[in-house]
Structure 1
Amino acid sequence: MADTNYDVIIIGSGPGGYVTAIRSAQLGFKTAIVEREHLGGICLNWGCIPTKALLRSAEILDHANHAKSFGLTLEGSMKADVKDVVARSRGVSARLNGGVGFLMKKNKIDVIWGEAKLTKPGEVKVGKSSKPVVEPQNPVPKGVKGEGTYTAKHIIVATGARPRALPGIEPDGKLIWTYFEAMKPAKMPKSLVVMGSGAIGIEFASFYRSMGVDVTVVELMANVMPVEDEEISKFARKALEKRGLKIITEAKVTKVDKAGDSITAHVETKDGKVSQIKADHLISAVGVQGNIENIGLEALGVKTDRGCVVIDEYGRTNVPGLYAIGDVAGPPMLAHKAEHEGVICIEKIAGVPGVHGMDHRKIPGCTYCNPQVASVGLTEAKAKEQGRDIRVGRYMFNANGKAIALGEDNGMIKVIFDKKSGELLGAHMCGAEVTELIQGFVVAMNLETTEEELMHTIFPHPTLSEMMKEAVLDAYGKVLNA
C-alpha cells in the first residue's frame, strides 16, 4: 500500500510551490506536491517564461528592422512567422517543465497528480483533475501518485491565480482573449484592443506592436502601469506611443460587440464621451484573482479577503498547520515573491534561526515591454504621502556611453532617498535591460545601504549600470557625466 503520510504537502507546483517543496526536502521533511495540470504552474507554462520568449522574438525583429542604423544591410524583408514564434515559446516552456520534473526526482519529492481539497486539518483529498494532466515525460518524477487521501502536519496552499473577468466582457477564447489565447495566436491579427495596462497588458501590447499589429490600450487609471512612479509611467507612455501604440487613459471598455471575425469595443472616457474601436480581438488584462474556490477553505474557516487567503509575514493562516504563499495569498502577484515567501514559510516551520518575515517594500517589479520598466520601494508620491523629507536623483540614458553604443539611449533612472538618514527608499527605471539592473538597488536596500556607500561603490565602465551611481550622485548634487 502506498505511503500517504507526509511532513509537508504543498498544493500547487508553480514557482512558489515547487521551490518551497525543494527547500522543504533540503530541510529533511518528507514532502509531496499536488498538481492538477502541469509542473511549473502558470508562470512557467503560460506566464513569465513563455511571454519572455515571445518578447525576445519581438526584440530581435525590432533590432532587425533598424539594422541600417547599425551600419548593417539585411537582404530581403524581415517578417515574423507566427507559427514558429509561438512554437519557440512553447518549446522553452516544455524544456523548463521537464526541468521541474527532474528537480522533484532529484530531491525525492513525491508528485501527486489530481485536484486537492482540504477535508480537515492535516488532511488533503486528491480527486480526478478537471483539467488535462500534462505529465513531464523526461524524466518522470519519483513516486508519481494520484487520487486518494493524504495527511501531513503542515499543508501549504500555493494554488496561484487566474485572469480576472469583467461582467459582460468575459473572455470566450475566440474574439476576447486572456493571456492564454494571446500567447498562442493561430495567426497574427491586424488590430487589437488591450483592456488594462498592467504588466500583462503592456507586455502583450508591446509584443503585438513589434509584430506590426495596430494596438490600442485602454486604461482606467490616469497612467499606464499605474503601480509605477508617475514620472516613469509618463516616460514609458511617451516611448510606447513613439513606437506606434495608441493609449487611452482614464477610460473604460463598457461593452464589446462581437461580429463574425471582429469586435467593437465601446470606450467611455472620464468626461462621459463614448467612442467605438473596431479590432480583430480584445485582450482582457484587467488583473488576476486568487484560486481559492473549491479547495475546502470555507469548511476549515480560513480567513480570506478580496479573493485571497489572509496570512501573516510567515505565510501562516488563521488555521494551525495551514499556510498559503504566492498569488493566492495576495499581491504583489509575482513569481519571485511567491518563491521567497515559500522559503520563508518552510524555514519558519523548520525553526531555522534568523528567518525574517516578508518585507513587501523590497519586492522588485519588472515589466518586459519595449522599453522595459523596473522598480523597487516607494514611489515619489508614496514617500511624500508618508511625510518623508526626500532627495530625488535622475539620470538619462542619452548621457551614457554604453546605451548610446547599443543604440538604446532612450531611458531614465530615478532614485529616492530619505534626506535625513540617507536611506534608499525607492528606485525606478525605464529603458534597455533595466529588469536586469534593478537587482543592484534591491540588494542595496536589503543591506540598508546609504547614499554614501553607493557613492563609494565602483561601477564598471562602460556599462548601463554606471547610470545607477550617477542617479545617486544627482540626488546629492554630485553628478559627474551630465
Structure 2
Amino acid sequence: MKQYDCIIIGTGPAGQKGAIQAAKLGKRVAIIEKNSVLGGAQINTGTIPSKALREAALYLTGANQRGLFGSTHHVKKNITIADLTAISQQVIRHEWEVIRKQFERNGVELIWGRAEFEGPHEVRIQTADATEIIAADKFLLAVGTKPARPSHVPFNEHTIFTSDEIVCLDHLPKTMIVVGGGVIGTEYACIMATLGVRVTLVEGSNRLLGFLDREISDAFQYHMRQKGITLRLGEKVSKIEEVEIETGRFRHLVQAQLESGKTLRAETLLYAVGRQGVCKSLGLDRVGIEFDDRERLIVNEQYQTNVDYVYAAGDVIGFPSLASTAMEQGRRAICHAFGVCDVGNYNTSLFPYGIYAVPEISMVGKTEEQLTTEGIPYESGIAHYREIARGKLLGDDSGMLKLLIHQETHKILGVHAIGTGATELIHIGQAVMALNGDAEFFINNVFNFPTLAECYKVAAYNGLNKLNHVR
C-alpha cells in the first residue's frame, strides 16, 4: 500500500492549490480526480466556460463598443453556437495543460479514479479495470458541488437544463426562461440577452443578488431591463413541463407555471436554483465525518471537519463558493494541517466578490445597508464612468464606482463597482482597505491617465466634499 503525507480528493481550485502548497512544504502528495479531465467545475462547466462564453458574446456582438461606435455596431451578424464554444474550448484546453504542468513541476502525483474512504486513513480508488488502496496522514476534501436537480423538474439537457448543460447547447434559442436570480442565473441571463435571446428571469426574492449594495443591485436590475430581460421578482415556479402549442404549426415549448397563476413559455429553460454537494459517495461514515442535508461539509476556522486530520475547502463547505476563495481555503487548510502558522493576513471581510454579468459587478467590504444596521457613520463617494476619460473611450457611460467612507476617520469601509472592468478595479480598494487606508490616499495618489482607476480619486473627492460641505 502506498503511503503519502497528504491525499487530496478533487482537482478543482481548492484541490489544486492545496496540493501544490503541500508539495512546496516537502510533503509526498497524491491528488485524485474521478472525471476524465482536470479542474472540476471551475474549468469544465462553471467559471471558465461561462466567462469564455461571456467574452465571446461581448466581442462578437460588439456590445462593449456600442457606446463609442453606435448601437448598430456588430463584429459578426449571424452568431452560431460554434462561434461561442470554439473560444471556450480553446481556453479550457489551455487550463488543463497549465494544471497538469503545475502538478508535474511540483511533484504532485495525479491519480485518476473514484475515491472512497476504506478506513480512517485509507482511501480506495476505483477505476474501470482496477482497484487500489492508498493511505495518508492528512486529507483534504475538495470535491465541489453540482447543480441542484429536483426530481419534479423534467430535465432533458436540451430544452430544460442546468448550468452544466447550457454550454453544450447545439443551437442558440430565440427565447429562454431562467429560474433563479442568483449569481449563475443572472450571469447567464445577461449573456443570453446580449446574444439576442429573449430572456425572462424568475426569482423568489423581491430583488436580485441581495448581498449586493442596494444602489448597485437597483442599477443592475435597470441594466437588465434595458437589455430586454423581463424580471419576474417575488415569484416562484410551481410546475415546469414541456407542452405542444399550435400557432399555425405545432411547436414544442417549455412551460413554467408560477404560484401567482402566471404562465411563461419559451423554447428553453435554465434551472439555476442552488447547488448540491457530492459527499455521500465518499464513504465518510467509515471515518465518522458529518455533512448536512445538502451534502456539504461543516468545518471550523482552520477548515477541519469534525475529524481533525480531514480538512475540506471550496464549494463543498458552502458560502461564498467562489473559485478565488476556494484557492486560498485549500492553501490555508494544508498549511494548518502541517503546522505552518505564518500564512499572511486573512480577513474574510475583505474577500472580493465578482459577478461576471453584463455589466460586471464587484464589491469588497460593507454595504450601505450593513453599515446602517451596525450604526457605523459613513458617507458615500461616487464616480460615474461618464466623468472619466477612459470610460468615454470604452463607450461605457453607465458604469460607476462607490466608496463608503467613515465620517470621522475617513477609513474606507466598502467599495462597490458596476461596469466595464469592475472585477479588476475592485482590487485597488481591497488593497487600501487591507492596509487600513483612508480616502485621502486616493486624493494624494497619482493614477495613470486615462484609466478607470481615476474613479477612486473622483469618488474620494465626492465623498470628502460631502463631509466638508463643499461642492
Name the TM-score, length of structure 2 as normaliser.
Answer: 0.91
Structure 2 residue aligned with 1:203 = 187
**2:268 corresponds to which letter in structure 1?**
H
What SS does structure 2 have at the residue aligned with 1:347? helix
CA distance in 1, matches of 2:66, 2:234: 37
CA distance in 2, matches of 1:421, 1:167: 54
Structure 2 residue aligned with 1:97 = 96
Alignment match of 1:267 (pick from 258, 265, 275): 258
Change (3 A) 1:72 1:294: closer
Stretch of structure 1 that moved more, 95-104 or 145-154 = 145-154
Structure 2 residue aligned with 1:79 = 78
Change (3 A) 1:328 1:319: same
Change (3 A) 1:73 1:226: closer
Change (3 A) 1:284 1:373: same
Change (3 A) 1:333 1:99: same
Alignment match of 1:366 (pick from 354, 371, 381): 354
CA distance in 2, matches of 1:301, 1:322: 10
Change (3 A) 1:455 1:73: closer
What SS does structure 2 have at the residue aligned with 1:10? strand
CA distance in 2, matches of 1:284, 1:112: 33
Change (3 A) 1:76 1:47: closer
Deviation at 1:98, TM superposition (A): 2.0
Deviation at 1:478, TM superposition (A): 6.5
Deviation at 1:80, TM superposition (A): 0.6
Change (3 A) 1:343 1:426: same
CA distance in 1, matches of 2:325, 2:345: 12
Kept in 2: contact 1:65–1:78 (CA 8 A): no
**2:41 corresponds to which letter in structure 1?**
I
Deviation at 1:300, TM superposition (A): 2.4
CA distance in 2, matches of 1:231, 1:216: 22
**2:319 corresponds to which letter in structure 1?**
P
State yes or no: 1:419 paired with 2:375: no
Structure 2 residue aligned with 1:340 = 328
CA distance in 2, matches of 1:420, 1:295: 53
Q: Deviations along 1:28-86, whole A, 9 cap, x unmatched?
A: 01011010002111101111111111111111133269669528998996121212311
CA distance in 1, matches of 2:62, 2:203: 28
Structure 2 residue aligned with 1:444 = 432
State yes or no: 1:299 paired with 2:298: no
State yes or no: 1:277 paired with 2:268: no
Alignment match of 1:355 (pick from 333, 343, 355): 343
What SS does structure 1 have at the residue aligned with 2:192? helix
**1:221 corresponds to which letter in structure 2?**
S
Q: Deviations along 1:125-145, whole A, 9 cap, x unmatched?
A: 11237xxxxxxxxxxxxxxx9
CA distance in 2, matches of 1:301, 1:468: 51
CA distance in 2, matches of 1:102, 1:380: 44
Kept in 1: contact 2:63–2:74 (CA 8 A): no
Deviation at 1:146, TM superposition (A): 6.8
CA distance in 2, matches of 1:342, 1:69: 43
Kept in 2: contact 1:309–1:324 (CA 8 A): yes
CA-based RMSD of the aligned residues comes to 2.5
Alignment match of 1:157 (pick from 141, 150, 155): 141
What SS does structure 2 have at the residue aligned with 1:294? helix
Stretch of structure 1 that moved more, 381-390 or 237-246 = 381-390
Q: Deviations along 1:260-286, whole A, 9 cap, x unmatched?
A: 632111123xxxx32111101110111
Change (3 A) 1:92 1:146: farther
Name the TM-score, length of structure 1 as normaliser.
Answer: 0.89
Structure 2 residue aligned with 1:430 = 418
CA distance in 2, matches of 1:279, 1:372: 26
Structure 2 residue aligned with 1:471 = 459
**1:51 corresponds to which letter in structure 2?**
S
**1:19 corresponds to which letter in structure 2?**
K
State yes or no: 1:176 paired with 2:160: yes
Change (3 A) 1:402 1:479: farther
**1:120 corresponds to which letter in structure 2?**
G
State yes or no: 1:222 paired with 2:206: yes
Give the % identical residues. 31
Kept in 1: contact 2:59–2:75 (CA 8 A): no
Deviation at 1:419, TM superposition (A): 2.9
Kept in 1: contact 2:57–2:84 (CA 8 A): no
CA distance in 2, matches of 1:322, 1:194: 38
CA distance in 2, matches of 1:303, 1:234: 40
Change (3 A) 1:450 1:66: closer
CA distance in 1, matches of 2:375, 2:70: 51
Kept in 1: contact 2:388–2:455 (CA 8 A): yes
CA distance in 1, matches of 2:74, 2:127: 54
What SS does structure 2 have at the residue aligned with 1:152? strand
What SS does structure 2 have at the residue aligned with 1:309? coil
Structure 1 residue aligned with 2:62 = 63
Structure 2 residue aligned with 1:134 = none
Structure 2 residue aligned with 1:455 = 443
CA distance in 2, matches of 1:72, 1:181: 31
What SS does structure 1 have at the residue aligned with 2:465? coil
Alignment match of 2:277 (pick from 272, 275, 290): 290
Kept in 2: contact 1:471–1:479 (CA 8 A): no
Gaps of 5+ in 1: 130-144
State yes or no: 1:311 paired with 2:299: yes
Q: Deviations along 1:120-169, whole A, 9 cap, x unmatched?
A: 3222111237xxxxxxxxxxxxxxx9731111111000000111234522
Gaps of 5+ in 2: 245-251
**1:254 corresponds to which letter in structure 2?**
S
State yes or no: 1:5 paired with 2:3: yes
CA distance in 2, matches of 1:297, 1:387: 44
Kept in 2: contact 1:158–1:328 (CA 8 A): yes
Alignment match of 1:253 (pick from 219, 227, 237): 237
Kept in 1: contact 2:7–2:136 (CA 8 A): yes
Kept in 2: contact 1:113–1:146 (CA 8 A): no
State yes or no: 1:321 paired with 2:309: yes
Kept in 2: contact 1:123–1:151 (CA 8 A): yes
Stretch of structure 1 that moved more, 13-22 or 286-295 = 286-295
Q: Deviations along 1:191-226, whole A, 9 cap, x unmatched?
A: 000011222111111111121111111111111222
Alignment match of 1:22 (pick from 17, 20, 23): 20
